[in-house]
Structure 1
Amino acid sequence: MPMTTLADAPLRQARNSAAFWAATGRSRGHEVIRRPGFLAVNGDERAGLRILIQEPATDTAEIIDLVRRAPGPVNLEDPFSATDLSALELRSWQMPVMLRPPGPVEPPLMEVVRVRDEPDLRAAELALIAGFDLTRFEPYRAGEMFPAALLEQPGVDVFAARLDGVIGGACVTMVDEGLGSHYWVGTPPGFRSRGVGRAVMVGSLTALPDLPFTLTASRLGRPLYESLGFVVAADSTWYSGAGPLRP
């Protein structure tokens, strides 16, 4: 596999995101829709619809139809920021796609585990629901966000950091076609500013030191990622709506 560069990072991130969300959809038993220009995972009224643009300036006719018939919340990612989705009544914002070349990192300052069992997976699930304020998954149903089958999907790993014996943060990594990517890097409010986010990132990178990594960074997360060697490659446009949406 050729070295990932800043120029091709958005495309590599798009492909990895599609692999990750297809794995998530399969583990949840949701419909996975593959088209040349996009991948969609059509869930239920709580999980909603996830669409991942795979090519710049993708045709939008089927995307618009899927969004308008969505059973629940809509989330759409365009890492190229090149597809015209102005016909949709969705909130939009931009976040940077970032790339980190392979290389070692300092060991984490707290215990970080690769999640292997049900209790740790549930604790990671709860930490991320709280960390991202995912009210769509409330009231809580164990295994709805992260079914046990997710850990059986090729390339998927969940990492969790323990502070004072309690899982206080987690992330998910997806390895596909020689590239790793991070998803759901988060900590609940009570564990923030205590080094948990850094620990879970460092722990996951330590486990996979020979791979380049991409991610899409929030404004608050970007300084942490830059301190770990991630560099901005391009701006990705994200869209969100409550659904179902009608013409």
Structure 2
Amino acid sequence: MSADPVALCAHGEAAWHAALYSGLGARWDDDGRLARGYRAVPHYLLFGAVTLSPDATVPGDVPGVVCDSFARLRLPGREAEPTGHWMIRDAADRGTPTPVPGLALHRVASDADMAWFEQLIFLAADGRPPTRPGEMHPPGSQGFPGAAWLYAELDGVGVGTAASIVTSRVNNIGAVAVLPAFRGRGIASALTEAAIAMAPDVPATLSATPAGRGVYRRLGFTEVGRPLHHHPI
């Protein structure tokens, strides 16, 4: 892998935000050094900017949290917190998914599927449903170029989600979440491998939570850095 792996992870994170900002009708620009939003961040779980190079300059009018991908910046008026772990799997590393009996994986193909995906991811992430329909993934989000939104059902019961945002450089994996009662059965691994399979010929990147790092290591991902999140004071 010739490219800087942290830069690839940052590029993937920016592509993820481009998809979500677009779905929410908000502006997101990428100049190759900084990817950013304007005015208000359209959802509290999203960043206001992602740095794409170590020497990126972050203007003072960037809203919300700044993801300092290379953990190098000091930003006046913001407090830095190390959060998440950049991880990457080279395209040459091909996983061998372990079958999960009764598990069916589906790709979102309609607005109704998108609503079901959103219901599942919110419940799996923190145990509560969306506060309103289309809170983060409104109707039509499934049509964003390069995006694949996946949901899993175990014996007909919705249990988890994953997503893939593909660019010419990476396949960024996100939204991997499984309902608590169904964890530990290999469902997250199956969802991750299915998302990677959307574009197996480019590196797969993601930002892992502490709880997810072990799962991704077992799938062949390598940790390459830890970004800083700069929160407005």
Q: Give the alignment's TM-score, normalised by structure 2.
A: 0.84
User: Which residue number in structure 1 is paired with residue 74 of structure 2?
Assistant: 84
Considering fraction of residues, name the structure with more helix: 1
User: Which residue number in structure 2 is paired with residue 71 of structure 1?
Assistant: none
Gap runs ≥5 in structure 1:
68-73
Q: CA deviation at 1:88?
A: 2.9
User: Which residue number in structure 2 is paired with residue 70 of structure 1?
Assistant: none
User: Against the structure 1 CA distance between its residues 168 and 45, is the aligned structure 2 distance closer, same or farther, given a 3 Å change threshold?
Assistant: same
Query: 1:6-59: CA deviations, max 9, x gaps?
Result: x61111122222222122212211122445532223475761453111221322
Query: 1:168-207: CA deviations, max 9, x gaps?
Result: 1111111101321111211233333333212211222234
The one-letter amino acid paired with 1:40 is R
Taking the aligned partners of 1:24 and 1:46, their CA distance within structure 2 comes to: 9
Taking the aligned partners of 1:177 and 1:119, their CA distance within structure 2 comes to: 29
Gap runs ≥5 in structure 2:
none
1:30 maps to which of 20, 26, 32 = 26
The one-letter amino acid paired with 1:55 is S
User: Which residue number in structure 2 is paired with residue 116 of structure 1?
Assistant: 109
The one-letter amino acid paired with 1:106 is T
Taking the aligned partners of 1:88 and 1:127, their CA distance within structure 2 comes to: 36
> In the alignment, is residue 126 of structure 1 matched against residue 116 of structure 2?
no
> In the alignment, is residue 235 of structure 1 matched against residue 226 of structure 2?
yes
Taking the aligned partners of 2:118 and 2:173, their CA distance within structure 1 comes to: 15
1:160 maps to which of 151, 174, 179 = 151
User: Which residue number in structure 1 is paired with residue 165 of structure 2?
Assistant: 174
**Identical amino acids, percent of aligned pairs:** 25
Taking the aligned partners of 1:131 and 1:75, their CA distance within structure 2 comes to: 24
Q: How does 1:8-47 map to 2 (within 5 A)?
A: 8-35=4-31, 37-42=33-38, 47=43
Aligned length: 227
Taking the aligned partners of 1:41 and 1:191, their CA distance within structure 2 comes to: 36
Q: How does 1:193-232 map to 2 (within 5 A)?
A: 193-232=184-223
Contact 2:12/2:206 (<8 A) preserved: no
Taking the aligned partners of 1:182 and 1:133, their CA distance within structure 2 comes to: 19
Taking the aligned partners of 1:192 and 1:185, their CA distance within structure 2 comes to: 12
- RMSD of the TM alignment (CA)? 2.6
User: Which residue number in structure 1 is paired with residue 52 of structure 2?
Assistant: 54
Taking the aligned partners of 2:95 and 2:6, their CA distance within structure 1 comes to: 24
The one-letter amino acid paired with 1:133 is D
Contact 1:25/1:43 (<8 A) preserved: no
Contact 2:37/2:62 (<8 A) preserved: no
User: Against the structure 1 CA distance between its residues 118 and 161, is the aligned structure 2 distance closer, same or farther, given a 3 Å change threshold?
Assistant: same
